[in-house]
Homo-oligomer: A and B are copies of this chain.
Amino acid sequence: MQPTLSTGADGLELRWPDGTVGDFPYIWLRDTDPSGFHPQTGERIFDLTKVPLDLVPHEIKVMQDALLVTWTAGATPSRFDLDWIKAHRPGQARHDPAELVPVAWKADLGKDGVPRHDADRVLDSDAALAAWLRDTKRYGLSIVTGLANSTEAGIALARRVGHLRETNFGLTFEVVSRPDPNNLAYTSDALPLHTDLTNQELPPGYQFLHCLANEAEGGGSTFCDGVAVAEDLRAGDPDAFALLTTLSVPFRFQDRHTDIRSRKTIITLDGRGAVCEICFNAHLADIVDLAPATLKPFYRAYQRFMAMTRDPAYGIALKLTGGEMVVFDNRRVLHGREAFDPSTGFRHLHGCYVDRGEWDSRLRVLDRSLD
């Protein structure tokens, strides 16, 4: 499986017997030399400013398992493992164990289709933790069952992933009906489907809502998959989709202590054009400040998206019971609740967030030992 080497004026080519071709500019090889990384921290210590852009090696050799590049006569050559350099050839997407294909879902998933995982197993087993992380990331939603009846139990699960994301509502938050609410979550009103904290530069990633009590009449939870809604909008109304991916609108939350603002598109696409984020929260949408000519097309697209989130074709409803915790990607899956009557019983959810970065980091670290 040794590749054939061809050298050019500013780079070399390796052609493997399986047809893979790697094109390696010399400057990239110099910058990527494994000896240019700190032996303990793995960080790059090579200083790119110390070499000319048009450097050319003194000697290049392909050995049985390595490419050797000698930059100046007599110097120790840079040694690249051939398998490694094939996997890291320029233009080749890097393997990432945290990259999982989303399973877009609609109402037919049903509440029984939501992945369920047992709290004790997730706490005790790395394999169970990885399985739960993967399911939750693929569906954007899962339910953890069998939690102890204490606010600490949900937090312990969240910390199994990574550190909590603090917000202006605290490191954790209690979702109960309050006499002096600074947020609609703290009333007994119905909450239509939304994502949280769209007014933050980085809205929180995964949300954990541990149900400690849900005895009031009403108070069911509702969810819909923003990716499914957005993809149907793209197919059915490409103009509306285009506007919602390009027009950024202002969001704002303010109370006595804070005034946090950010602009967001309702739908965000990643570098490959896939829907990677939904920011949808009519409560936190500030007075829309788009130019008059843009306002009407925007409202048409926005109202259409909003109506789709309410369409029974997309939503699922479930009523959490004590000891259950729903976990969802707040930047993908919209959540809401039915109104409840606080005079008929206590409803108490305890929540926190862990950002996507910590989630993916945990998936990658677990992948090192489990696979």
Interface residues of A (CB under 8 A from B): 10-11, 23-25, 27-28, 31-32, 38, 40-45, 47-49, 53, 88, 90-94, 96, 162-166, 168, 180-184, 187, 189, 192, 200-202, 248, 250, 253-255, 257-263, 271, 282-292, 295-296, 299-300, 302-303, 306-307, 310, 355-358, 360-361, 364-365
Interface centre among A28, A257, A284, A306 (most CB of B within 10 A): A28
A41 touches B182 (CB 8 A): yes
Q: How far is the CB of A255 from chain B (nearest CB, A)?
A: 8
A11 in contact with B292 given A258-B365, A259-B364, A271-B248 (CB within 8 Å):
yes
A299 in contact with B182 given A90-B288, A259-B364, A271-B263 (CB within 8 Å):
no
Nearest B residue to A22 by beta-carbon distance? B292
Collect the chain B residues with CB atoms within 8 Å of residue A287's CB: 32, 88, 94
Collect the chain B residues with CB atoms within 8 Å of residue A254's CB: 42, 364
B260 touches A28 (CB 8 A): no
A303 touches B43 (CB 8 A): no
Give A41 to B253 CA distance when docked, in angstroms.
Answer: 9
B283 touches A45 (CB 8 A): yes
A282 touches B44 (CB 8 A): yes
**A–B complex contacts, Cβ < 8 Å, 26 sampled:** A10-B296, A28-B295, A40-B182, A41-B184, A42-B254, A42-B255, A43-B184, A43-B253, A44-B282, A44-B284, A45-B189, A48-B282, A48-B303, A49-B303, A49-B307, A49-B310, A90-B292, A94-B286, A163-B166, A163-B168, A164-B166, A202-B202, A258-B361, A259-B361, A260-B358, A260-B360
A200 in contact with B296 given A40-B180, A90-B290, A287-B32 (CB within 8 Å):
no
Collect the chain B residues with CB atoms within 8 Å of residue A295's CB: 25, 27-28, 90
Give A38 to B356 CA distance when docked, in angstroms.
Answer: 31
Give A98 to B274 CA distance when docked, in angstroms.
Answer: 33
Task: Sort A-B residue pairs by CB-CB distance and give the 9 closest, nearest first.
Answer: A23-B292, A43-B283, A259-B364, A91-B291, A202-B202, A90-B292, A260-B361, A258-B361, A27-B299
A183 in contact with B90 given A49-B310, A361-B260 (CB within 8 Å):
no
Give A314 to B262 CA distance when docked, in angstroms.
Answer: 31
B257 touches A365 (CB 8 A): yes
Nearest B residue to A259 by beta-carbon distance? B364
Give A187 to B291 CA distance when docked, in angstroms.
Answer: 53
A25 touches B299 (CB 8 A): yes
Give A41 to B282 CA distance when docked, in angstroms.
Answer: 13
A41 touches B271 (CB 8 A): no
A90 touches B49 (CB 8 A): no
Given known contacts A25-B295, A44-B285, A49-B310, what 14 new A-B pairs fall within 8 Å (CB)?
A11-B292, A25-B299, A27-B295, A38-B283, A40-B182, A41-B184, A42-B254, A42-B255, A43-B183, A43-B283, A49-B306, A53-B303, A259-B365, A261-B360
